[in-house]
Amino acid sequence: MTSTDILPHQLFLAGEWRDGGAGTFADVNPATEDTLVEVAAASAEDVNTAVAAARAQLSGEWAALPGSQRGRILARVADLIERDAEILARLEALDIGKPVMQPTVLDVPNAARTFRHFAGWADKITGTVIPTDGYFGRPTHSYTRREPVGVIAAIVPWNTPLMIAAWKLGPALAAGNTVVVKPAEDAPLSILHLAGILQEAGVPDGVVSVLPGLGSVTGQALVDHADVDKISFTGSPEVGRHIGMAAASSFKRVTLELGGKSPQVILADADIEAAVGGTAMGLFFNQGQVCAAGTRVLVHRSLYSDVVDALAGAASQQVLGDPFDQATTMGALVNKKQQDRVLGYIAKGQAEGARLVAGGARPDHAGFFVQPTIFADADNDMTIAREEIFGPVGTVIPFDDPADAVRLANATTYGLAATIWTKDVTAAHTLAAQVHAGAVWVNGWAAIDAALPWGGMKSSGIGRELGWSGIVANTEEKVVTVVL
Ligand code: TAP
């Protein structure tokens, strides 16, 4: 038996498993550096076929289904994700190098929860009746309708592929859209398994296609396609800017979920044990490859040396290794490029004068591992505090009072998330209002949920996903006025 007998590796194109028109690419196991499987790469012609099938379903079987039926199908998707939870978690661990415990407790349940949440919305997408001044003395009856945007291209990164695919598919399908998904080259496997689940749950053929391939070929063909109505993109600010500019020329709708340089603010009265534990999780979860990673740790000066020591201790307690070993708390970074990039930032932090108090190197064995790393005596203007590293590297910066903390928290081009650690309810709400971020968490890191809007301010993106905001982002609002 070979890996192609076990692992999904073909395009899921208009309801059929097919080879790709652009050959194959190697999907590598980051923890061993071995090739897992050769995955089919979609060509521009494959994109045309998928988009045509998606377009046809907007006036086909899918369009004819009432919202309640779409909801039943999405609820079945959630059930099947739970049935296949172990397979999906193992595919994520294999493909991305993360400890299998993480997708088991987060990515897979979150994906199921997302489909179930949007199953509930599918028959509740309503408009409003709006009173007006009338029409030249005649009364009117005006109301709004929320209609599907159309064909949506969902372009997904590699760090949490199943979850982010669910965040895009759940609201899009609930609102009656059709979707072509482009997974990242580094992590197509769990989304390909999800494609089979969608079909089994009763999503009609053509409503969703999953097309692995190169960003510059498959992704670009979707961005350029005249019959794609919206791009829902999660990934780097560089590619996001490129997509936003390309979409503007054809007036495609866009949702951009980009990077972050999120602060974790530890006020003088914080519960130190909870703050250090939560802050370490915000630094090292998924090897720091999290858009909302809390990489700028802003600490009241009275606690500074204690927090630095405790975070260095937390770093030294991480167990790097085989993602399938239950003792492992940190796996590998996704690829060699990412490993080199993170090590480059660590070298830059040292060159710019920050004090390395933990980690800083790659272990001496195969796999794209980097030790959990903490820098102290740093300031907010250093490169390691300004640029998104997307690796397990935290920079600890002191502040003197809450106003200083807010100034530092906001001194970034990003605005995705922020965490505040305090027992003072007034300080918590005051800072939450003052910090520029799409999400603020108090006394916990990454308290995300399918019901809560998700997205960033400033360079962290445009638009929101999830909750009712996810439905708004996946619908066009039409107003109908009848002159009575
Ligand atoms: P990117 O390099 O931007 O890739 C994201 C996706 O875009 C991949 O599927 C990629 O394909 C595709 N792509 C690349 N070039 C394209 C093009 N010209 N046209 C269309 N698609 C193209 O990001 P990444 O390295 O996968 O992920 C890391 C970044 O994503 C970080 O900056 C991180 O902060 C951000 N991120 C943000 C969030 C949220 S929710 N805000 C969540 C996760 C990650 P290939 O894989 O084939 O290159």
Q: Is 219 in the pocket of ligand 1 (CB under 6 A)?
A: yes
Q: What is the mean pLDDT of the chain?
A: 97
DSSP class per residue in 170-191: HHHHHTT-EEEEE--TT--HHH
Residue among 5, 38, 8 at smallest CA distance from 24: 38
Q: Which pLDDT does position 4 carry in this prediction? A: 79
| Residue from 27, 234, 254, 261 to probe ligand 1 pocket by mutation (most atoms less than 8 Å from CB) | 234
State if residue 291 touches ligand 1 by the CB under 6 angstroms criterion.
yes
> Buried b / exposed e across 393-413, counting CB within 10 Å, b at 16+?
bbbbbbbeebeebbebbbebe
**Residue with CA closest to ligand 1 atom 31:** 236
Fold category of 263-436 in CATH: Aldehyde Dehydrogenase; Chain A, domain 2 (3.40.309)
Q: Looking at the chain, how many residues does it have?
A: 484
Q: Is the CB of 44 under 6 A from ligand 1?
A: no
Q: Predicted ipTM?
A: 0.93
Q: Which residues pair with 478 in a beta bridge?
A: 145
d(CA 386, CA 135): 55
d(CA 56, CA 58): 5
Say if residue 198's pLDDT is above 80.
Answer: yes
The structural domains of the chain, with segments of one domain joined by +, span 11-259+459-483, 263-436
Residues 6+ apart with CB under 8 A from 123: 66, 67, 68, 70, 71
Q: What is the pLDDT of residue 401?
A: 95
Contact (Cβ atoms closer than 8 angstroms) between residue 481 and residue 438: no
CA angle 295–300–301, rounded 5-degree value: 115
Residue 191 CB less than 6 A away from ligand 1 = no
- 381-400 average pLDDT score: 98
Per-residue model confidence as pLDDT tens digits over 83-135: 999 999 999 999 999 999 999 999 999 999 999 999 999 999 999 999 999 99
Task: Average the pLDDT over 426-437 and give the result.
Answer: 98
Enzyme catalytic residues: 257
Please say if the pLDDT value at position 304 is more than 70. Answer: yes
273, with CB counted inside 10 A (0-12, 13-18, 19+), is exposed
**CB-CB contact of 214 with 432 (8 Å):** no
Cα–Cα distances (Å) from 462 to 446, 459, 465, in that order, read 20, 8, 10
Shortest CA distance to 230 belongs to which of 125, 118, 146, 149?
Answer: 149
Q: What is the pLDDT of residues 15-24, one digit of tens each?
A: 999 999 999 9
Q: Is 92 in the pocket of ligand 1 (CB under 6 A)?
A: no
Alpha helices by DSSP H, listed for 352-466, are 383-386, 402-410, 425-434
Mean pLDDT confidence for 31-54: 98
376: its two tokens = 């102290």
Handedness of CA 285, 287, 292, 296 (dihedral sign): positive
pLDDT at 221: 98
How far apart are alpha carbons 7 and 94 in whole angstroms? 10
Bridge partners for 264 per DSSP: 297, 419
Closest CA to 329 of 338, 337, 320: 320
Give the tens place of pLDDT for each residue, 435-456: 999 999 999 999 999 999 999 9
Mutation probe of ligand 1 site: the residue of 159, 334, 337 with most atoms within 8 A of C-beta: 159
Q: Whose CA is nearest to atom 35 of ligand 1?
A: 235
CATH superfamily of 11-259+459-483: Aldehyde Dehydrogenase; Chain A, domain 1 (3.40.605.10)
Which runs of E-coded beta strand occur in 235-366? 253-257, 263-266, 296-300, 355-358
Inform me whether the pLDDT recorded for 2 exceeds 80: no
φ, ψ dihedrals at 143, nearest 5°: -150, 160
Rounded to the nearest angstrom, the distance between the alpha carbon of 156 and the centre of ligand 1 is: 6
Mean pLDDT score, 315-326: 97
Question: What's the pLDDT tens digit per position in 123-180?
Answer: 999 999 999 999 999 999 999 999 999 999 999 999 999 999 999 999 999 999 999 9
Encode pLDDT of 365-375 as tens digits: 999 999 999 99
Question: Helix (H, G, I), strand (E, B), or coil: what is residue 195?
Answer: helix
Q: State the Cα–Cα distance between residues 350 and 360, nearest whole angstrom.
A: 9
Query: pTM above 0.80?
Result: yes
Distance CA 379, CA 154 (A): 37
- Burial code (b: 16+ CB inside 10 Å, e: under 16) for 285-317 equals bbbbbbbbbbbbbbbbeebbeebbebbbebbee
- Binned at pLDDT 50, 70 and 90, residue 1 comes out as low
Amino acid identity of residue 127, one-letter, is: G
- Is the predicted pLDDT of residue 3 greater than 90, yes or no? no
Predicted confidence (pLDDT) at residue 64 exceeds the cutoff of 90: yes
